[in-house]
Structure 1
């Protein structure tokens, strides 16, 4: 299917690793122009240099997304480079384990900034260009907003906020024909997930325990599967879809995991 994303300029936060990198790779395949925004310069340069070897030039901005001014500067960098913005994928974030019993005010607020506030900031600063292009926004979210997880209050609250902002923005931006949707992830094997699994005494057994509860094929969702859905939601092929929370999770969230 031709998604007609050729030459569309799409911001991808956290686009140098995990799900974000999967999204960048899919956008390149669709001949779109992903613009990576990340604080991790080493991983960004690795991605950029690998594509350069293939004759593909990617641009990027190094930004600490918890900082308002750096978010604005990143969006300005996109505009200065390409003169437009056709889409925004809010993806960056981390399940940082700030819980209720063992958490504290400072860490809770810091986590909200790491996982939610920059979703607002990036959309706010990109909005003037998105209005011109009638672009689309896709927010990446987590099952924790629906299922909970335990010991991760701030991350769960942030993802609840991402869901709410998706619906709120879809409504607010109707006059500009800007579509806003969210892709909700459950179990996807990323470098961060790998780091978390390795904290268990028997990582292999823990991984098997988790995948056994994923109804469809008892396996992890791949970054590519998430990325394909993101690309569809960015494209005109989903031209009448807005305000939706799309669960790409092998049925984990809503199907009976006791099956």
Structure 2
């Protein structure tokens, strides 16, 4: 299916993670559709991704930005606007499950909110003139943690709950402009960081088996490619009458009846 994303300017935050991370996978999927990905991230790895994309003939750029700092976000939005004059879609993807729990310092809790929630607001605020010009749309990457809690990660849980609140608030705010706002909710996805976590804990393989056993559809984790596919469809005109929605891509992990999980 042609999603009609060719030459669309799509900004993706937190997209300079390692190969196979969700943000990086979204960027590659956009490039494969002929879109123009704009990578906004603090990791210098983004320069290499920019070079790779440009060698493919894609007018993509990397805008190095500390997404915990609103002033840097404002400067990034202005640079994108100056180069392209429009933003067809903004994918707020940055997120770190940083373990800022009740035992964390106030400084660590506030930093978690700054990175995982305030960055979504600042990025949307400063990109909005260019989104409005293009009649573009906004897609926020959420997490099951914002719905279910997880334990030991108050900052991330509060942030991801807030992201869902902002998603519907913006759908209301921007409906007269014809700008859609949606969220993708992710549960258990097999990313490089997940692999690193499993390898770092005692009995990691047993823990992995216990988790995947609880995922109803296929008893397997969601792949980053499956998440990217849903993201691309949602920002495309194929999803032109969808706004204010939370789209859960998780194999039924969060919402389906546990009675499905019989031996």
Please indicate the TM-score interval, normalised by the length of the shorter structure: over 0.9
TM-score (ref. length: structure 1): 0.95
Task: Tell me how far 1:198 sits from its aligned partner.
Answer: 2.3
TM-score, normalised relative to structure 2: 0.94
Residue of structure 2 in register with 1:21 after alignment: 24
How far off its partner does 1:191 sit? 2.4
Which residue of 2 is the match for residue 73 of structure 1? Answer: 75
1:77 and 1:218 map into 2 onto residues whose CA distance is 44
* Contact map agreement 1:214 1:257 (CA 8 A) in 2: no
* CA deviation profile, 1:128-177 (whole Å, cap 9, x unmatched): 11111110100000000111111111101100000000000000001100
CA distance in 2, matches of 1:58, 1:135: 18
Counterpart position of 1:48: 50
Do the aligned residues in 1 keep the contact of 2:36 with 2:58 (CA within 8 Å)? no
Aligned to 1:145: 146
Residue 210 (structure 1) shift: 1.0
In structure 1, the residue matched to 2:201 is 200
Cα contact 2:142–2:184 (8 A) shared by 1: yes
Measure, in 2, the Cα distance between the counterparts of 1:56 and 1:84: 16
| Contact in 1 for aligned 2:36/2:59 (Cα 8 Å) | no
Distance (Å, rounded) in 1 between the aligned partners of 2:86 and 2:59: 17
Report the alpha carbon displacement of residue 57 of structure 1 after superposing the two structures with TM.
4.4
Partner Cα separation in structure 1 for residue 173 and residue 215 of structure 2 = 35
| Match of residue 110 from structure 2 | 109
Residues 92, 242 of structure 1: alpha-carbon distance in 2 compared, 3 angstrom cutoff: same
Whether the aligned pair in 1 keeps the contact of 2:15 and 2:27 (CA below 8 Å) is yes
Q: Which residue of 1 aligns with 2:84?
A: 82
Q: How does 1:151-170 map to 2 (within 5 A)?
A: 151-170=152-171
- Distance (whole Å) between structure 2 residues aligned to residue 58 and residue 239 of structure 1: 25
- Please give the per-residue CA displacement for 1:58-84, whole angstroms capped at 9, x wherever unaligned: 211000011111001111121122121
Paired position in structure 1 for 2:34: 31
Q: Could you give the per-residue CA deviations for residues 220-254 of structure 1, whole angstroms, max 9, x where no partner exists?
A: 10111111111111111111100000000000000
Give RMSD over aligned pairs.
1.3
CA distance, structure 2, for counterparts of residue 124 and residue 51 of structure 1 = 27
Task: Between 194-203 and 176-185, report the one with greater CA deviation.
Answer: 194-203
Deviation for aligned residue 1:194: 2.3
Indicate the SS of the match to 2:202.
Answer: coil
Structure 2 residues without counterparts, runs of 5 or longer: none
Where does the alignment leave 5 or more consecutive residues of structure 1 unmatched?
none
Partner in structure 2 of residue 7 of structure 1? 7
